[in-house]
Amino acid sequence: MSELISAEARSWIGRSADPVRIEISRTDIRKYAIATEQQQAKFLNGDEAPAMFLFGALRPLIPMDQLGPDGIPPDKFLPDLPLKRVMAGGTEMQFHRPVKPGDVLIATRSLHDLVEKQGKTGPLIFVSYNLRVETEAGELVLEEIQTRIFR
């Protein structure tokens, strides 16, 4: 198998993107709960955010004409890779406590690993990120490993 991952790309392993700070409001939780057809009162009342709330809350708000063809903002925290087509590779989430209205959260994403594999139709590069979400006071809320597959 050829070496697709350059030394420059490998030097990104362990780097962290700038932290993202978000303030959680009861209204934001309620809007998300309604939009995702939640049934539990704690979500609909905005007392606690559903598990996937942070997935959208951590995404930047950008004009539609700046979104990629998949409707997702371009990832600016990524080394240059020779394979350009991106697929979701999975996610592992560990929740340490619920997200509540009034929380001020700090999310930090770091590049965990780059792995080249051979697929049935050609080479693949697996890119994994660690996401750590804490309160401003340092209380751990969520740890996540996100994997993307480039082909």
Domain ranges of the chain: 7-150
Find, among 103, 105, 125, the residue nearest to 114 by Cα: 125
95-144 residue pLDDT tens: 999 999 999 999 999 999 999 999 998 999 999 999 999 999 999 999 99
Distance of CA 15 to the CA centre of its chain: 15
The identity of residue 2, as a single letter, is: S
Residue 71: predicted pLDDT:
74
Residue 35: predicted pLDDT:
95
Please give the Cα distance from 17 to 55 (Å, whole number).
Answer: 17
Choose the weakest-confidence range: 10-24, 32-46, 54-68, 112-126. Answer: 54-68
Residue 2: predicted pLDDT:
57
Q: What is the mean pLDDT of residues 24-35?
A: 96
> CATH classification of 7-150, choosing from 1.20.120.80, 2.40.50.140, 3.10.129.10, 3.40.1130.10?
3.10.129.10
Residue 13: predicted pLDDT:
96
| In contact, 132 and 143? CB cutoff 8 Å | yes
